[in-house]
A and B are shown apart, each in its own frame.
Chain A
Amino acid sequence: MRHLALIAWLAWTLVARAGEEDPDASYDTSKRLPALHHAVGMSLPVDWSTPEHLPLGPERRVECSTCHGLKNLERMPYRTVDKKSARFLRGGPYATLTAFCSNCHDPAALKRPNIHSMLDDSGKIREDHCTYCHEAVPQERERPHRAVDYRLRLPPEQLCYGCHGKTPHFNALEHQAAKPDEAMRRHIRESERQQGIRLPLSGEGQVMCPTCHAPHQYGVIDERKNPAGRSVQAADPERGIEYQAHPWNAVIQADKQDRLDSLNHELHTTLQLEYRRISQEVLLRQAARDGTLCLACHQFRD
């Protein structure tokens, strides 16, 4: 028994060590690319091209220097690579990584379908959209299910991140995984009962994207029979959220300019903040633009 435990420990240690990345390793020494890295070393077909500032190597191969402007990057230990350098990605700095990708790839051609647009022109459900998240098309939508019966491909607190970033809007991080206390949970249950909505928490009792966001287009689930179908009604998922300019924006920007200037100076960035009013909101369990959604969880003494 003792030998068995020793063998198991040794095997685990070897597997764990194999998964570790040596911080002093470079691409030349390890021949390993960082996670989610673009493939390198392949030759592009002759009818494919890259912009002039992203030069291919011999035999039209994609190499480190095709995308990176740092000299001898392949020999640098990974820990010493300055990812914030403007030369880290040629033509940088870029506001988003996808902005860099679009140097070669057409964003429109690679755009994912809007799976939240679940009804076709005749009002019929696009069942192929269901199976992006569900293992099978749920047939009984007219009654509330237990979470396990949704047969989701990932736990609901992780599912959205398959397509969406973790911080698609401000204060997303502040809400994600926050665990409401007993008083707030009571208030949430009361709001659910009074407003006929669902505000689901994760299995651990934490806030997740679907707590506020309704993943199903209005009309997919009959709200009269299943509160999971209740959401902001006028929403058009194809148009998405829409904003309108508002005079408060000038006031707010002036109010925050000094603090923003100071932050930008410190971080060497050009961050900005703006205020616009929501003119159309989508896929929310209640309206946020008038605060109804917020007050379904938050309550105030005075």
Chain B
Amino acid sequence: MLFRLLTLFMLLSLGLADARLTADDTPSASSAEQAASAQTPKPPRWWEKRDKPGINLLPLFPEVQGTGRTGDKPTAGIHYPHRAHFKIMEQEGDSCLLCHGFGPNTLTDKKQLKSLTTIANEPLRAVCHDCHVDERRGPWRCDLCHDDRTRIWPVDHNYSYIDHHGEAGRRDEAACRECHLDLSFCTNCHLRRDTAGQGYHPLGYRSLHGLEARIDTLSCGRCHNTPYCDECHRAQR
């Protein structure tokens, strides 16, 4: 018995080595391209650079005024990558003057002018959101531009909201979707199966879901599509 097992192991090892040798000796065209692309990695896009882990200490030191380069200054917790917008601004016929007002001024009172200029220079939520939220022509993840999400989220989010959001979500789902544009924001937790947590449904819900699904099928459809059901039910049909 032992002899047979040893023989089988040796044969398997030889087979695997042969397979590796074959793959290494005859590289295909696609693997050559992959190797070339691996040597010259694509430059990361600006939001990918921002995803790199690091400790942002600027919020602790509001008096820090950046490193001297335009755009480095922390401004109202909003990051606006200027270069990333050059092309689209040109296509749209917009320019720096859309946000940085240089229109004619007749005010001579410095205090009034300073206050008005501050408002003129403040970020234009409506203009930004027109592309990034309403039309989603640009990346729409909030934290790509809003450095500190606590500045933009509703006050009730400050207090263990993750444990108490269910009722509000059922009451006004549209309100959630004003910011949480991707359904994956919900399903990343509610549909994950690698934890023992309750998720969206109570424990054991799989055994009990038939009745509720018959009563209110639409509510299932808010998160699940037909193939999701078919994964189990197809075998029974």
The interface of chain A, by Cβ under 8 A from chain B, is 95-97, 165, 167-174, 181, 183-184, 241, 243, 248, 251-252, 254-256, 259-260, 263, 267, 269, 271, 273-278, 288-291, 294, 298-302
Contact = CB atoms under 8 A, between A and B. Distances in A.
Given A170-B117, A278-B97, A301 B106 contact: no
A263 B111 CA distance: 11
Given A251-B127, A273-B119, A171 B101 contact: yes
Contact of A260 (B83, B95, B119): B119
23 contacts: A96-B106, A97-B108, A168-B104, A170-B117, A170-B120, A171-B117, A173-B110, A173-B113, A173-B117, A248-B94, A248-B98, A251-B127, A252-B124, A255-B125, A269-B112, A273-B120, A288-B95, A291-B95, A299-B70, A300-B83, A302-B82, A302-B83, A302-B84
Given A291-B89, A302-B82, 18 more contacts: A96-B106, A170-B120, A173-B113, A251-B127, A251-B130, A252-B127, A255-B126, A256-B122, A271-B112, A271-B116, A273-B103, A278-B97, A288-B97, A294-B95, A300-B71, A300-B81, A300-B82, A301-B72
The 3 A-B pairs with the shortest beta carbon distances in the complex, nearest first, are A300-B82, A255-B126, A170-B101
Interface of B: 46, 49, 68-72, 81-84, 86, 89-90, 93-98, 100-108, 110-117, 119-122, 124-127, 130
A203 B16 CA distance: 77
Given A288-B102, A289-B97, A183 B119 contact: no
A169 B113 CA distance: 10
Contacts of B94: 248
A252 B126 contact: yes
A167 B105 contact: yes
Given A167-B107, A298-B70, A267 B96 contact: no
B53 to A, nearest CB: 18
A168 B94 CA distance: 22
A274 B89 CA distance: 19
A302 B68 contact: no
A195 B38 CA distance: 38
A128 B119 CA distance: 42
B83 A181 contact: no
B124 to A, nearest CB: 5
A242 B77 CA distance: 35
A256 B71 contact: no
A301 B83 contact: yes
A290 B90 contact: yes
A156 to B, nearest CB: 21
Contacts of A301: 69, 71-72, 83
Contacts of A291: 86, 89, 95-97
Contacts of A260: 119
Contacts of A252: 124, 126-127
Given A172-B105, A288-B102, A289-B95, A300 B69 contact: yes
A183 B69 contact: yes
Contacts of B101: 170-171, 273, 275
A302 B47 CA distance: 10
Contacts of B113: 167, 173
A78 B153 CA distance: 51
B154 to A, nearest CB: 17
Contacts of B46: 302
B101 to A, nearest CB: 4
A273 B113 CA distance: 11
Nearest to A258: B119
A290 B115 CA distance: 27
A276 B96 contact: no
Contacts of A274: 103
A302 B145 CA distance: 12
Contacts of A241: 104
Given A252-B124, A289-B95, A302 B49 contact: yes
Contacts of B84: 302
A252 B86 CA distance: 20
